[in-house]
Chains A and B, each alone.
Chain A
Amino acid sequence: MSARVVIVGAGLHGCSAAVHLSAQGHRVTVIDKAYAGRHASGVNAGGVRRLGRHPAEIPLAMAAWERWQRMAEVVGDDCGFRPVGQIKVAESDADLEALTGRERQVRSLGFDHEYLITRDELCKRVPALSPHCPGGLACDGDGYANPYRTVTAWRRQAQRQGVSFHEGVTVTGLEAHGSGWQVQAGRHRFSADILINCAGAWAGTLCQWLGEPVPLVAEAPMLMITERLKPFLGPVIGATSRPLSFKQFENGTVLIGGGVRGEVDSRRQVAETCLGGLAENADTVVSLFPFMHEARIVRTWAGIEAVMPDQIPVLSRSSTSASVIHAFGFSAHGFQLSPISGEIVADLAMEREPAYPIKPFSITRFQGHRSSG
């Protein structure tokens, strides 16, 4: 039977859910208060990363990685995916010890995608790196893709499958209607058998209305990009004990980020960059790649992202309504998971058992949380 599905939020996860649900013959409508990929989905660092994932996310990240290999089949575009590998470098012996522990932990969970590399091997793979780094943890086949291109590919695929998008439309209220919902969005009204909450940093409002408040915080991870430099870097580089994500694109520009936060201006719904974190990031880069001292930054920016206190998403059925599914709070590392989150949402919506362990992502883990609003 074909259900009427309303998805709130045209980010990566909303669009992915739209693709998977429409492929199964459901009538899907996506509503977004701005446009597809306006915030975190469109302006993130584009890391396609299994390396360093929270243990609960590893099975999902492995499955998503398999989808990334054939994105062109899934959404009609490779999304700029380049499997150049990722390496987390140790800057000290203490860092190296932490990475050794991590390798052991991943193996004990039955995975072997992350493995230690020696100082010599690191030097061979990243010749531009400062020689003080004693080793690293590598994950071959990880890499990066182009975020805006990716969210657009998902949206277009959804549109090809008949999904209708309403951009610039803000949800203003929910009303239970039989077993489904009436979604009020200003003067628009949408009827839904199933409602899907992919509203990212704005997902908390819906949870509130549903009587299951969550301790979601809107944050603004910052990024900066350099002018074009001559090619010097293959894999994506991260640090062990400081925030860093560092990659060079094919056009020569270098993207720097990794978790330093700007400020969210909630009234204007924009993210602002802050000097402190950018300078800290600059300092990290210069200490790892001394020649970058002279590299010119041409642009800095930040995107608004939902972060949960335990740094893993909410990906589950609602605890208060059988016809609501949540997928939000990816805590600044949801980009890589987007191909799989939509599959899981589709399974949950159709009351099928998802093929992956998702218990840790249940919204019930926040039961008893009182909203500060």
Chain B
Amino acid sequence: MTTHDLVILGSGPAGMAAAATAVTHGIKPVVVDEQPAPGGQIYRSIESTPVKERRILGEDYWQGKALIDGLGDPRIDYRPGTTLWQLTRRLEVGLLRGEQASMIRARHVILAHGAMERPFPIPGWTLPGVMTAGSGQILLKSAGLAPSAPVVLAGCGPLLLLLAVQYLRAGIPIAALLDTTSTGHYRDALRLLPGALRSAGTLFKGVGLLAELRRAGVRHVRHVTALEAQGDERLERIRWQCGDGAEWHYLSTPLLLLHQGVVPNTQVTRALDCTHDWDERQLAWHPRTDPWLATDVEGVAVAGDAGGIVGAKASAIQGRLAGLGAAMALGRAGEEQTRKEVKRLRRDLARETAIRPFLDVLYRPAAHWRLPEDDTLVCRCEEVTAGELRRMADQGCRGPNQTKSFTRCGMGPCQGRMCGLTVSELLADANGQSVAETGYYRLRPPFKPITLGQLATAAEDASR
């Protein structure tokens, strides 16, 4: 097993910035990413996207180019198309590339593997034809793939608006944009506007997106309070309601893109058994970190959205901080030497994250969008409904590990990625206890499925 000073997981803004900072301190990092090209979700396929017209994906997208160029530094051992399937507390790193599984050892690890979309469990969300807005955007960026028939976008959050505008600019017809943002949230968020003005640029971009949709005459339905996907074999139509007891509206569509924000992907920090806190404002788990973004597991730091949603620019700043933290931990930089830079980075970070409280409040999904009704599926892999989980709570299940043992909820191929948040919140609600008390799944390797054949090849590395 070879040993490396620094292993960085993910080549999005945080991972790329961490790597660039590390090399300036004489560290040769290994950067591992599952995707075939760098950029993370935000700058995905920047080097290869067939969408060449710059205004479609927007200038924020093309800004990623500088970071991606930095990854070409020969001192960075960049490994695309490589999956992390195991990471132990002794910093043994299990990798999988094609059919080849291998193990390397790290002295320091920066987890910069980003966010995932919050589950959006509505009736019919498992029908073919219902996707997440994030996957819709992936198809657009990487393959220029766009739906041919008019599409419905539903939910809330900046990504949903951005995708709507990107579709619009690419000439893709939008049948409707159903906005689930709660009425009262506009008022609550308004109070946070003064603080948000510190990141005025981001704020104005958001306002600009809304204006662009309005000018184009996109059907924008606000205050949607209920939504269902319907169809026999696949999605045929949707129906929605604006207010309890209000009339149902129907619309035929072959494609529904759902989105209600992003949350940190905590599969790896959970498997490491890092301490996590429940963030009531972001309605998500965050690994607990110190000012250097180090977790309570020796040698492991988290940068970017994987540690709490901060957005692309702040993620890159966190990447730099974590890179400096790694250099100091590895004895390549002293506190004196980095003090000025750290001060500047922290100031930039404060500015870039000033808008978060505003966004978090405005786009906070209402309880009924997170705690589905009894008939709705929560765990897609094992087909467990919200009703079954509530029954388990009645029978004394206090947390997700108990319902897992009873119902197999969270035990399918995705290992709880798609249902984990819903299950924690649902059991907390049913038991009248806090989400923090309820806890989350205990996670185990492999983080992504690995075949028995691949596992057998990894053994040779481990014994070496």
Contact = CB atoms under 8 A, between A and B. Distances in A.
Interface of A: 35, 37, 42, 148-149, 152, 225-227, 251, 265, 268, 270, 272-273, 275-276, 278-280, 282-283, 285-286, 292-301
A279 B406 contact: no
A275 B459 contact: yes
B446 A300 contact: yes
27 contacts: A37-B405, A148-B405, A152-B406, A227-B412, A272-B89, A273-B444, A275-B86, A275-B92, A275-B103, A275-B458, A275-B459, A276-B463, A278-B455, A282-B456, A285-B452, A286-B456, A292-B452, A294-B451, A294-B452, A296-B413, A297-B449, A297-B455, A298-B413, A298-B449, A299-B415, A299-B446, A300-B445
A97 B244 CA distance: 75
A283 B450 CA distance: 14
B69 to A, nearest CB: 36
Contacts of B462: 275-276, 279
Nearest to A227: B413
Overall SS of chain B's interface: mixed
A280 B459 contact: yes
B405 A279 contact: no
Contacts of A279: 455-456, 458-459, 462
Contacts of A297: 446, 449-452, 455
A276 B459 contact: yes
Interface centre among B273, B412, B456, by most chain A C-beta atoms within 10 angstroms, is B456
B453 interface: yes
B452 A282 contact: yes
A298 B445 contact: no
B94 interface: yes
B159 interface: no
A243 to B, nearest CB: 14
A104 B453 CA distance: 37
Contact of A272 (B88, B405, B408): B88
Contacts of A286: 452-453, 456
Contacts of A285: 452
Contact of B444 (A152, A265, A268, A301): A301
B411 interface: yes
A298 B451 contact: no
A37 B405 CA distance: 10
Given A148-B406, A227-B413, A282-B452, 11 more contacts: A35-B402, A37-B405, A149-B405, A265-B89, A275-B86, A275-B94, A276-B462, A279-B455, A286-B456, A294-B453, A298-B415
A280 B89 CA distance: 21
Contacts of B94: 275
Contact of A298 (B92, B446, B453, B456): B446
Contacts of A282: 452-453, 455-456, 459
Interface residues of B, number: 29
A296 B449 contact: yes
A265 B272 CA distance: 13
Contact of B459 (A272, A283, A294): A283
Interface in B420-464: 444-446, 449-453, 455-456, 458-459, 462-463
Contacts of A270: 273
A37 B411 CA distance: 18
Contacts of A276: 459, 462-463
Contact of B456 (A35, A227, A283): A283
A279 B86 CA distance: 13
A9 B31 CA distance: 46
A30 to B, nearest CB: 14
A280 B408 CA distance: 27
Contact of B453 (A225, A293, A300): A293
The 6 closest A-B pairs by CB, nearest first: A279-B459, A148-B405, A296-B449, A293-B453, A282-B455, A275-B462
A170 to B, nearest CB: 18
A222 to B, nearest CB: 10
Interface in B84-100: 86, 88-89, 92, 94
Contacts of B456: 279, 282-283, 286
B411 A299 contact: yes
Contacts of B89: 265, 272
Contacts of B449: 227, 296-298
Interface string B263-288: 00000000001000000000000000
A300 to B, nearest CB: 5
Contacts of B88: 272
A285 B446 CA distance: 18
A149 B406 contact: yes
B89 to A, nearest CB: 7
Interface centre among A149, A275, A282, by most chain B C-beta atoms within 10 angstroms, is A275
A178 B455 CA distance: 58
A123 to B, nearest CB: 22
B405 A42 contact: yes
A265 B273 CA distance: 12
Nearest to B88: A272
